[in-house]
Structure 1
Amino acid sequence: MIDRQPFDLEAYVQDIAARPCFICGLVRDDPAFFHHRIFEDDETIIFLSKYPTLPGYCLVCPKEHREDLARDMATDEYLRLQEKVHLLSCALKRVFDAERIYVLSLGSQQANSHLHFHVVPLPSGVPLEEQQYHAVMAEHGVLQIPDNQMAEMAREIARAFHSERTDRS
């Protein structure tokens, strides 16, 4: 359905294990860690994945480096972060007319230790065998979306996200 390009997972894993936290780099505006941003406030940053497996693949993260959901976040802080996950899910559903929104918390102490949630819209019509874990696994390839299209996608998602926030105010 969606043409994915092969992804060198081994090289990626070696790269992320050897470099500083990319989310902290993004928060610091380090150009080496550029991602297309959707939203940010004092606590949260939301941005498009550089290695999307589906259009609209986003990450939602606390801006402060946190590694363990159970130990490093107070309940009220977690609930505020999850409110952003929910708002983003509604925005992605609107923009992509998604059949389902996948939400996963991934990462490891060895790499990508900064707590983050993957929020991924599943388009309608994806065959069952290409849904769920298959749909989000880079091992099955990633999309090569030109930068100008990523920028426009980020703007479109941001507009829908802000509209969801406004509608709830």
Structure 2
Amino acid sequence: MDREAIDLDAYVARTRTGPCYICAYLAGDPDYRHETVYEDDAHVAYLDRYPTLPGKVLVAPKAHIEHVVRDLDEAAYGRLMLVVRRVALAVEAVFAPERTYLLSLGSGQGNSHLHWHIAGLPPGVPYERQQYHALMTENGVLALAEEERADIAERLRRALGRRATPGT
């Protein structure tokens, strides 16, 4: 897949000075639109706007929670992780990755809303381009047309067996 450079300075400025992008997305702000692939009362999963791997999905609680271990009680943590697993299984069903990476990123300085990244490593990626290298936007993001994003989202929704509201 073709990659394109990302304006990292603009991205960092937006994450550090703009609104919480997940809260803005959930509120329907068109500047923070994402392709939803799963939604329930407490969680949402959506395509990464800057994917480094095909079908990269983010999962977040709808409530603005910032700390993965201390802001969730055991039951809420378990429910979130079950959604992460369910979405990861859909990514695996659609993309058949060699390995599925799961990680929670962000900080109090930017992208503070708790979210999990689900990224499937395609088979055949040379070892030196796997793991962190494969996840770093500094190495370029996939150049996907809106139609490609919509198709990926629909394939993931079908794999999940639940329809989300497209384009929200």
Shorter-chain TM-score bucket reads over 0.9
Gaps of 5+ in 2: 163-168
1:64 aligned onto 2:63 = yes
How far 1:70 sits from its partner (Å)?
2.1
The runs of at least 4 consecutive aligned structure 1 residues that moved more than 3 Å come to: none
In the alignment, which residue of structure 2 is the partner of 1:166?
A: none
Amino acid at match of 1:53: T
Number of the residue aligned with 2:42: 43
Superposition deviation, residue 14 in structure 1: 1.0
1:120 is aligned to 119
CA displacement 1:56-109 (0-9 Å, x = unmatched): 000000000000112211111111110011111111111001111100100010
CA RMSD of aligned residues (A): 1.0
Count of equivalent residues = 162
Provide the rounded CA distance (Å) in 2 between the counterparts of 1:68 and 1:109. Answer: 9
Q: C-alpha distance in 2, partners of 1:60/1:70? A: 16
**% identical equivalent positions:** 46
The aligned amino acid for 1:151 is A
Deviations 1:115-157 (A, max 9, x none): 0000001110111011000011101010110011101100101
Supply the distance in 2 between the matched residues of 1:69 and 1:41 (Cα, whole angstroms). 19
What secondary structure, in the 3-state scheme, does the structure 1 residue paired with 2:31 have? helix
**Is 1:133 paired with 2:132?**
yes
- The alignment status of 1:86 with 2:85, answered yes or no, reads yes
Give 2:138's aligned amino acid.
E
Which structure carries more helix by proportion? 1
In structure 1, list runs of 5 or more residues that go unmatched: 164-169
CA distance in 2, matches of 1:14, 1:62: 24
The residue type equivalent to 2:26 in the other structure is: V
